Amino acid sequence: MKLKTGFCSTSLVCIAAVTGSLLAGATTLARADDDEKINIVRAIVSPPVVSNGTIAGEPTEVIGVLAVRDAAPNLAMDPENFGYQIPAGGRMEVELGGSFERNGVDNAKVFRAINSNANFVLVTGLPQAPITAPAGAGVQHGNYTISDDGNKIITVTPNAGKGKNGLEQKRAKKIGIKIVHIRPRPGTDESTSPFTNGPAGTIGTMDVRIYKANGKLVESGSASVTFPASGGQVVGATNVGLATGGQGNPATATAELVESVTFQHVAPGTVLSNTVKGATFSEGAPYAPRFLMFDKPANQPDSFIPQKGLAGVGYIKTADPKHVHMVQDTNGNGVPDEGDTIIGHTVISGPAGSFPEILPSDALTTSGDGVTGPNGSVYNVPVRIGDKEGVYTITAILEDGNASVTTIIAEHDDDDDSSDEDHGS
């Protein structure tokens, strides 16, 4: 077994420290009344669909993660916790500042107007689960207009709705907005990117403001990001290959309200092993925790989707059923084994005494060349959830990169007290 250097060790003490840092500051944002103001922008990060979203000098692809009231950050993206809405007749403004460059304004690159989901989209907080701009009968169709001021401010204006929620259909009404995503148009080149990240070490900012129809500011917040000169390998939770495709099309009406591997709600003791979508998403559930991996930006042929993944990655068991070594098939025999190079670790954790485990798998990832083929590499981790109710996390950690968490909620069916009531109606 070959161990890459540069990681603290294979010990679970180290892994626990890394995992714990992901959930640091997990305090609930309590609300005393509807007029209490909080900073609604928790962070600016690169989305889990590229390797280079916040790298200095690269095309800007960022998500602004919103702080959900009455929910700890590690549970904020659970669809049972409602995010934000835009009042009917009102608007949301998303403003980039600091060293973010507007192409064609702050530099000599081609100017790109922002007027569709090609460059901006509202998201429920779950991967590949947008609230899209077109009107339509699908759960994802929010019916809103996107515009920009020719510089740094993007405006979202609902086209219909009523009362506190001007957006339409179920995702906007039952889950709400938890992420704003600014991006180049997927699968293209620099001319379709509205922004470029600033130089290494400089700071970019994002402000989000929500206004009522009368112009009153009802929600606001800001966050910042420092642009690094380079980055490592990337892993992120994903629903790629499982979520309904073409959700930006007004005619797509087959998506379900929730199509997500992370934040699946299952019974204690459930085995999550399926990796292939059923006739519908829900018919194939429950699914194995699923991650999307990318090679480091320096190894990408260009800066745009599709990007190279990490081919030949799987995992091998250790003496601890909760911990596996992520390995790359460097001996070329087509299976993950002791002769391969360790590139990371995956660990499952849950309530004390619950005894979850990662199940054996001989699967290896595949990858395109970064020009053709799929975007990234899908890494599946079949698991058995422990015997107690509570929150379970599956954390994938790359030694030469980042870490990412998939969360599973174990609960008995009779504990389900979710409401069908729409928010803001």
pLDDT digits (tens, 9 = 90+) for 12-64: 333 333 333 333 333 344 333 445 789 999 999 999 999 999 999 999 999 99
CB within 8 A of 343, min separation 6: which ones? 4, 233, 310, 313, 326, 327, 328, 398, 399, 400
Q: Distance (Å, rounded) from C-alpha 31 to C-alpha 258?
A: 26
- 3-class DSSP state for residue 20? helix
User: Residue 424 above 80 pLDDT?
Assistant: no
Alpha helices in 285-398 (DSSP H): none
Residue 154 burial (10 A CB sphere; 0-12, 13-18, 19+): buried
What pLDDT sits at residue 17? 33
Q: Return the CA Rg of the chain.
A: 21
Range scoring the smallest mean pLDDT among 6-15, 31-40, 103-112: 6-15
For the stretch 301-327, pLDDT in tens is: 999 999 999 999 999 999 999 999 999
User: What's the whole-number mean pLDDT along residues 274-278?
Assistant: 97
For the stretch 164-217, pLDDT in tens is: 999 999 999 999 999 999 999 987 788 899 999 999 999 999 999 999 999 999
Nearest to 96 by CA among 137, 145, 148: 148
Q: Distance (Å, rounded) from C-alpha 180 to C-alpha 306?
A: 21
Instruction: List 154's β-bridge partners, or say none.
Output: 94, 148
Nearest to 81 by CA among 387, 421, 312, 418: 418
Q: Distance (Å, rounded) from C-alpha 339 to C-alpha 363?
A: 16
Nearest to 286 by CA among 401, 215, 385, 363: 385
Confidence of residue 90 (pLDDT cuts 50, 70, 90): very high
SS (H, E, C) 323-343: EEEEEECCCCCCCCCCCCEEE
Look at the pTM and tell me if it is higher than 0.85: yes
Q: Given its phi and psi angles, is residue 170 left (phi above 0), alpha (psi -120 to 50 degrees) or beta?
A: alpha
What pLDDT sits at residue 218? 97
CB within 8 A of 314, min separation 6: which ones? 326, 327, 329, 335, 336, 361, 362, 363, 364, 365
> The dihedral of CA 210, 263, 42, 131: what is its sign?
negative
For the stretch 349-390, pLDDT in tens is: 999 999 999 999 999 999 999 999 999 999 999 999 999 999
Report whether 62 contacts 44 (CB < 8 A): yes
- 3-class DSSP state for residue 283? helix
- 3-class DSSP state for residue 21? helix
What pLDDT sits at residue 37? 84
- Could you say which DSSP state residue 192 is in? G
User: What's the whole-number mean pLDDT along residues 64-93?
Assistant: 97
- 3-class DSSP state for residue 177? strand
Q: Distance (Å, rounded) from C-alpha 423 to C-alpha 410?
A: 25
Q: Distance (Å, rounded) from C-alpha 339 to C-alpha 328?
A: 10
CB within 8 A of 1, min separation 6: which ones? 325, 327, 338, 339, 340, 342
For residue 183, the one-letter residue type is R
Q: How many CA atoms lie within 13 A of 348 on its CB side?
A: 25
Report whether 120 contacts 233 (CB < 8 A): no
Q: Distance (Å, rounded) from C-alpha 394 to C-alpha 379?
A: 12
Q: How many CB atoms lie within 10 A of CB 149?
A: 12
For residue 261, the one-letter residue type is V
